[in-house]
Copies of this chain bind each other. A is one copy, B any other.
Amino acid sequence: MSTLLLRQVAIDTYKENVAYLHRDCKLYRSEGFQALNKIEIHHEGNGQSIVALLNIVDDDAITAPGELGLCEQAFKQFGGIEGVAVRIAHAPVPKSIKAVHRKIGGASLSREDYQGIATDIAANRYSKIEIAAFLVASCEIGLERDEVLYLTQAMIETGRRLDWDEPLVVDKHCIGGLPGNRTTMLVVPIVAAHGMLIPKTSSRAITSPAGTADTMEVLARVELSPNELHEIVRSQRACLGWGGTAGLAPVDDILISVERPLLMDSPGQMVASILSKKLAAGATHLIIDIPIGKTAKVRDRSSALVLRKLFEYVGDHLGLNLEVIITDGRQPIGKGIGPVLEARDVMHVLENDPRAPLDLREKSLQLAGRILEFDPDMRGGQGYTTARDILDSGRALEKMQAIIDAQGRNPTPPKLGRLRQDIVADQSGYVCTIDNLQLARIASLAGAPRDKGAGIDLYKKLGDPVQAGESLYAIFAEFSADFDFAKESAEKDSAYLIGEQYIDERY
With both chains docked as a complex, state the minimum distance between the C-beta of A498 and any C-beta of chain B, in angstroms: 30
CB-based contact B104/A30 at 8 Å: no
Distance (Å) between the CB of A450 and the closest chain B CB?
5
Please give the distance in Å from A444's CB to the nearest CB on chain B: 9
Is there contact, CB below 8 Å, between A258 and B136? no
Interface residues of A in 10-39 (CB under 8 A from B): 10-16, 20, 23, 29-32, 34-36, 38
Complex CA–CA separation, A15 to B93 (angstroms): 21
The interface residues of chain B lying within 8 Å CB-to-CB of A106 are: 140
Give the one of A30, A139, A262 with max B CB within 10 A.
A262
Q: In the complex, what residue of chain B is closest to A266 when comparing beta carbons?
A: B104
Q: Known: A140-B137, A140-B141, A450-B30. Is A10-B127 also a contact (CB below 8 A)?
A: no
Q: Mark A124-164, 1 if CB is under 8 A from B, else 0.
A: 00011111110111011100000000000000000000000
For A63, the closest partner residue in chain B by CB is B11
A301 adjacent to chain B (CB < 8 Å): no
Contact A57 B16, beta carbon cutoff 8 Å: no
Task: State whether A58 touches B11 (Cβ < 8 A).
Answer: yes
Q: A354 within 8 Å of B by Cβ?
A: no
Residue with the highest number of chain B CB atoms closer than 10 Å, among A71, A133, A140: A133
Q: Which residues of B contact A72 (CB under 8 A)?
A: 58
Asked whether, in the complex, the Cβ of B93 is within 8 Å of the Cβ of A263, the reply is yes
A12 in contact with B97 (CB, 8 Å): no
Known: A12-B55, A12-B56, A58-B12. A97 touches B263 (CB 8 A): yes
The chain B residue with its CB closest to the CB of A104 is B140
Would A101 and B263 count as touching, CB distance under 8 A? yes
Please list 20 pairs of residues, one from A and one from B, whose beta carbons are closer than 8 Å in the complex, sorted by A's number: A9-B59, A10-B57, A10-B58, A11-B20, A11-B57, A12-B56, A12-B57, A29-B450, A97-B263, A104-B136, A128-B128, A128-B129, A129-B261, A130-B261, A130-B262, A132-B133, A133-B264, A136-B137, A137-B140, A140-B140
- Contacts of A129 on B, CB cut-off 8 Å? 128-129, 131-132, 258, 261-262
A413 to B72, CA, bound (A): 45
- A6, chain B: closest CB distance, angstroms: 16
A-B contact sample (15 more), CB < 8 A, given A61-B61, A97-B263: A10-B58, A11-B59, A12-B23, A12-B58, A30-B450, A31-B450, A62-B62, A105-B140, A127-B261, A129-B129, A129-B132, A130-B132, A130-B261, A132-B133, A137-B140
Determine the residue in chain B with the shortest Cβ distance to A258.
B129
Instruction: Using CB atoms, name the residue of chain B closest to A72.
Output: B58
A438 to chain B, nearest CB (A): 17
The complex places the Cα of A133 from the Cα of B97 at a distance, in Å, of 16
Please determine whether A36 and B13 come into contact, CB atoms closer than 8 angstroms. Answer: yes
Docked-complex contact B10 and A36, CB < 8 angstroms: no
Report the interface size for chain A: residues with CB under 8 A from the other chain.
55
- Verify if A295 is at the interface (C-beta below 8 Å from B): no
A62 touches B133 (CB 8 A): no
Q: Of all chain B residues, which has the CB nearest A131?
A: B129
Q: What is the chain B residue whose CB lies nearest that of A260? A: B36
Using Cβ atoms and an 8 Å threshold, which residues of chain B touch A30? 450
A257 at the interface (CB under 8 A from B): yes
* Residue A378, interface by CB 8 Å: no
Task: Judge if A1 is at the interface, Cβ distance under 8 Å.
Answer: yes
A123 at interface (Cβ–Cβ under 8 A)? no
Residues of chain B within 8 A of A35, CB atoms compared: 12-14
Q: Does any Cβ of B come within 8 Å of A325's Cβ?
A: no
> What residues on B are CB-neighbors of A358 within 8 Å?
none
Q: Across the interface, name the chain B residue whose C-beta is closest to A451.
A: B30
Residues on the B chain within 8 Å of A127, using CB:
261
A481 within 8 A of B: yes
Q: How far is the CB of A94 from chain B (nearest CB, A)?
A: 11
* Nearest CB in chain B to that of A36: its residue: B14
Q: Closest approach, in angstroms, between the C-beta of A136 and any C-beta of chain B?
A: 4
Task: Look across to chain B and name the residue whose beta carbon is closest to the beta carbon of A479.
Answer: B30
Q: Which 7 A-B pairs have the closest CB atoms?
A: A10-B59, A14-B35, A132-B132, A10-B58, A12-B56, A129-B132, A136-B136
How far is A72 from B57 in the complex, measured between Cα atoms in Å?
A: 9
Q: Which residue of B lies closest to A23 (CB)?
A: B12
Known A-B contacts A12-B56, A16-B36, A23-B12; A132 and B136 likewise in contact (beta carbons under 8 Å): yes
